[in-house]
Amino acid sequence: MMISGVPLCNSCGEQLGFEPNGELFVACHECNFAVCKSCIRHAIEEGRNACLQCATPYDGDITVKAIGQAAFADHSSMAGYFDKDQDPGIHARNISSVSTVDSELNGEPGNQIWKTRVEGWREKANKKKKTPAKPVTDAQIPAEQQMGEKQSVEPARPLSRVIPIPKAKLAPYRTVIIMRLIILVLFFHYRITHPVDSAFGLWLTSVICEIWFAVSWVLDQFPKWSPINRETFIDELSLRYEKDGEPSGLAAVDFFVSTVDPMKEPPLITANTVLSILAVDYPVDKVSCYVSDDGAAMLTFESLVETAEFARKWVPFCKKFLIEPRAPEFYFSQKIDYLKDKVQPSFVKERRAMKRDYEEFKVRINGLVAKAQKTPEEGWTMQDGTPWPGNNTRDHPGMIQVFLGHTGAHDTDGNELPRLVYVSREKRPGYQHHKKAGAENALVRVSAILTNAPYILNLDCDHYVNNSKAIREAMCFLMDPLVGLDVCYVQFPQRFDGIDRSDRYANRNIVFFDVNMKGLDGIQGPVYVGTGCVFNRQALHGYSPPSLLNLPKSSSSCSCCGGCWCCFSSKKPAKDISEVYRDSKREDLDAAIFNLTEINNYDEHERSMLISQTSLEKTFGLSSVFIESTLMENGGVPESANSSTLIKEAIHVIGCGYEEKTAWGKEIGWIYGSVTEDILSGFKMHCRGWRSIYCMPLRPAFKGSAPINLSDRLHQVLRWALGSIEILLSRHCPLWYGFGGGRLKWLQRLAYTNTIVYPLTSLPLIAYCSIPAICLLTGKFIIPTLSNLASILFLGLFISIILTSVLELRWSGVGIEDWWRNEQFWVIGGVSAHLFAVFQGLLKVLAGLDTNFTVTAKAAEDTEFGELYVFKWTTLLIPPTTLIVINIVGVVAGFSDALNSGYEAWGPLFGKVFFSAWVIFHLYPFLKGLMGRQNRTPTIVILWSVLLASVFSLVWVKIDPFVSKVDSKSISQGCISIDC
C-alpha cells in the first residue's frame, strides 16, 4: 500500500522509499528534488549523473546506492509497505498512468459532488484494507521472460537539451565582469576621497548619480551570469506521442486572443491572428481558440463569423502545401519566391484562387468596419432582428458563441476544424473589471468549463503564429517528464514586422530578448512578457509545483498514529527555527489548498478536510464545475457532459461579480494591481517554486506589430514603466515579497528587482545629462585635476565597460547596431517616459490620482514607414528636447569661452565637451524624430526651442562669463587718475 505522507518521485510517480536507517531517501541534498533510486539508476545509465533541477552532480554515495541496490520494492527494507500487486519487472517509468477526475454535471448544488468524491475515496480505501495483498513469486513469471522484458524497454530519448555557452566565450566575459566590479570599487574610492571644493554641489550630485548607475548595472549584469541556449527535438516528440493508427497523445492547448476596441485594433489583424491559430500544425481536436472581446463590439463578433467561414478554405490550403506563415495577410505580402520547395502542380492555381478568396474576405471585413463607423441611434441589431446585447459597452450581459469544432462546420475537404469561441464577459456599473488581466482570467474559467486543456497559450490580437510548429516546440519541454514537471510556462521571444530598417527607437528589443532572457533561462527562467507564452494551467490555478514536498503538518499527522511517515522514523530531528520560518513563508505563497500530486497520500478524513467545498469556493468561486476542472491534473472534459449545461456554467463564471471574495487576481490567474500584469503574474509563479523556460526556435514562433512612431513608442514605454512603479510600491515588491519562502533564487530576485526599479534611474540620469551643460556654462567641472594613477583608473573603467559590451555581443550573437540603438533609447526613454512614470506612479499609488498624457497626431504620409515620420505632440517630448538644447548651447558657450580665454582653457574644455557630446549622441534618434523626414521641423518644436534658448541666453547674460570682474575700488582709482 501507499504510505501516507511519503513524497512521490517527480519522474515516475512512485514513492521515494527509505534508507536502511529508516530515513527518507534524498537524492540531491542541494535542492531536495524528489527522485527515487530507480530513476537515478536509469539516469546514470543514460550518462546523466546530475540533479535534474539544479544540475548539481550526485554524491558518490548516492550513485553507489542507486546502482548497487535493487531497484524493486521487494528488495528494499520497507518492502512491506509497497503494493505487491505491481509487476516486479516493470517500473512506473514504463507504465502510462493518466489520472483524471470524473465530473458530475447534474445541475444540483456542489455539495453532492464533494460528498460523492469523499465517499468514493472511502470505498477505495476500504477495498484496499479488505483485499489482501497477493504475493508475486518468481514462478509466475520466469526469470528469462523478465530479463527479456527488461531488455526490450528502451530508454526514452530526451525531447530537448541545454546547450551551454562555450567556456571560451563565457569565461572571459565573467572575468571582465569581476574586473569591472573591482575597478568600480577603486573608482568610487577615488571619487569620494577627492571632492571638488569649487563645485561641491555638482560633484556631490555626480557621485550620487554614478553610485546609482553602478547599482543598476549590478542588478542588470549578474542575472546574465549563466546564460544558456536550448534545442528541441520535435521529431522525437512525434515518435513518442503520435503513433500510426492510434489517437494522438499530445496534450491539448487552449489559445487566448484578447481584443478591446476594433477601431484601434483592426478586425483584419485579429482575423489573421485567429486564422494562423486555426491552421497550426497540431491535432485539430487538441486546439481551441478563445477570442475575448472586452469591448462587446458587434463588429468584432461579425468579423469573427466571417473569419470562421474563411477558415474552412484557408486551413486545408495551409496544411496541404505546408504554408508559412499561416496568417494570409503576411503570407501573401512576402517578397520571396513562393514557389521554392513547392512541387505540387496544382499549387499555383490553388494559390491564385486562395489569394482571390482572401481579397474578397478583406473587402467584406472592410465593409463591416465602414458600417461600424457610425452607430445607429437605436443601437446595433443582429441578423435575426434582436438588439445586440453589447450596445452599452459598460452595462451588458456575458456572451459566448462557439464556432467550428467537433459539432460545427467542417472545412472544404470535410475535415474537422479546431474549436473557435467568442467570449465577452459581463460588465455592470460599480464593478472593477481589471482590464486585460480580468479578461484573461475570464478566459481561464470559460476554457476550463468548455475544454479544460492542460496548457494555455495567450497572444495579443496583433501577434500571429509565424511558425506552425511553435506549439510542438513548447510541448518538447512541457510534456517531457524529466523537464516539464515544475515548468509554469514556456516563453517565446517577441519578434516584429513593419519595423524601419535602422530600428531607430529599438522596437525590436534585441538586447532584452537575446541577452537578458537567455541569462534568466540559466537561473529560474525568463520573465513573462505578456504574449507568446504557453502556460501550465495548474500554475495559473495557484498550485505549487509537484517537485515541492508539502507534507502534512506534524500536529494533524501524528494524531493518526500510524498514518504518517514520520511515525516510521524514530529519530526524526526537530526543525530549526529558520526552517519553521521558511515553511510559514512558503504557506503564505501557496494559493491552492493542496498539491495535486500528494492528494492520494492522505487518508479519507484528511482529504475531506483538505478538499472541502467551502475552502475551494473561497479560492476559485461559486462554481462546482470549474472547481472540479481544477482538480483534473491532465485536463479534459467528461464525455457525458451536456453542452448546454456547460455553456450555462461558462456564462456564470464570466459574471462581473464572480470574482468577489475569491483569490482571483490576488493569488490565482493573472494578478491585479499593475498595468504590467504580465511581470507580476510570472513573479508570483516563480515565488511559489515554479520555473520557466525560454524557447527560441530558428523560425520565430510569433510575430507582431510595434509602434514605430516616436510619441507612440514613448507612451508604450511609459505604460511599462508605470506598471513597474506600481509593483515597487505594492506588497508584491521583489525586495521583500516571498523573501522567507526560499523558492526564488537570489539572482532571479535581482532580475525582478531590476524590472521594477529601473524607472527610478530617470532621476539621476536627467541630472547627469544636465551636468555637462552646467559645467560648460559655469566653467566648473566635477572631476579634479587627474594624477597618473587616477588617469589609469579612469582609463581602466572605460576599457572594462567596452570589453563587457563586446564580450556580451560575442556570446549572444547580437549585432553592434542593435546594441547601440538599445543604449540610445535607454537614455531617451529614461529622461522622458521613465521620468513621468515615476511621478505618475507616486500620484496614483499615494494620492489616488490617475494622470493621462494626450497624444495629438498629424496626418501620416502614405508611404512605407510613413508612420515613422509623423509628429505627435505630447508632454513626454519636453525633457529630452530641453536636454538637447542646453547641451548644444553649453558646447557653443564652452568653445566661445575657450577662444577668449587662451590656450590653457582648451584642456579642461575637452573633458566637458566629451560628456556633453555623449548626451547629444544618445539623444540623436530623438532629434531625428523631431525633425521628421528631410529635416522638416514642426512649428511647435521651433517655438519650444526658441523659448528655451531665450531663457538660457538671459541666464547667460546674467552670468556674464566673458566680462572681467572689476571691483568698485579699482574703478574709483581709475577715475581719480583721469585729468578732467
Q: What is the pLDDT of residue 430?
A: 85
Cα–Cα dist 719/621, whole Å: 31
651 grid coordinates: 456564462
Q: Write down the pLDDT at residue 455.
A: 94
Q: What is the DSSP string of 619-666?
A: HH-S-HHHHHHHT-TT----TT--HHHHHHHHHHHTSTTTTTTSSBTT
φ, ψ of residue 192 in degrees (nearest 5) = -75, -35
Distances (CA, A) of 608 to 111, 615, 727: 12, 11, 38
Q: How many angstroms separate the CA atoms of 331 and 314, rounded?
A: 12
User: What is the pLDDT at residue 730?
Assistant: 85
Phi, psi (5° rounding) for residue 466? -90, -25
* Assigned C-alpha cell, 973: 582709482
Which are the contacts of 246, defined by CB distance < 8 A and separation ≥ 6? Answer: none
Across the chain, which has 980 residues, the per-10-residue mean pLDDT values are: 56 66 69 74 68 67 48 34 34 31 36 48 49 43 42 63 90 93 93 88 92 93 90 90 85 92 89 94 92 90 92 92 91 81 80 92 92 84 84 87 80 87 90 88 92 92 92 92 88 89 86 92 90 92 75 37 38 47 46 50 55 72 84 75 83 89 88 87 89 93 87 88 88 81 81 90 92 86 82 90 92 90 91 90 76 47 59 82 88 78 71 86 85 56 59 57 50 48
Q: Which of 798, 784, 730 is nearest to 200 (CA)?
A: 784
What is the reported pLDDT for 940? 55
**Are 319 and 279 in contact, with CB atoms under 8 Å apart?**
yes
**The three cell numbers locating residue 15:** 514513492
User: Sheet holding 399-404: strands in order across?
Assistant: 399-404, 419-424, 287-293, 253-259, 455-460, 533-536, 487-491, 691-694
Any catalytic annotation for residue 521?
no
Strand order from edge to edge, sheet including 464-465: 464-465, 702-705, 495-497
Please indicate whether residue 294 is annotated as part of the active site. Answer: yes
C-alpha cell, 194: 577627492
Closest residue by Cα to residue 708 from 860, 891, 919, 521: 860
Q: Which of 486, 514, 521, 678 is catalytic?
A: 678
Q: Specify whether the CB–CB gap between 311 and 417 falls below 8 A.
A: yes
Locate 411 and state its grid cell: 472545412
Start-to-end CA distance of the chain, whole Å, equals 124
Q: Cis omega (within 30 of 0) on the bond before 325?
A: yes
Q: What is the distance between the alpha carbons of residues 864 and 861, in angstroms, rounded to a whole number?
A: 8
* C-alpha neighbours within 13 Å on the C-beta side of residue 408: 20
Nearest to 36 by CA among 57, 56, 60, 6: 6
Q: Give the whole-angstrom CA distance, residue 275 versus residue 289.
A: 10
Q: Distance between CA atoms of 83 and 86, rounded to whole angstroms?
A: 6
Bridge partner list, 255? 289, 457
Measured CA to CA, the distance from residue 314 to residue 354 in angstroms comes to: 7
Phi, psi of 354 (to 5 degrees): -70, -40
In this predicted structure, what is the pLDDT of residue 958?
Answer: 52
Cβ 136 vs Cβ 88: under 8 Å: yes
**How many helices (H) does the chain have, and how many strands (E)?**
34, 15
3-state secondary structure of 546: coil
Provide DSSP, 86-146. Answer: S-TT--GGGS-----------SS-THHHHHHHHHHHHHHHHHHHHSPP-PPPTTTS-HHHH
Q: Out of 293, 294, 462, 590, which one is annotated catalytic?
A: 294
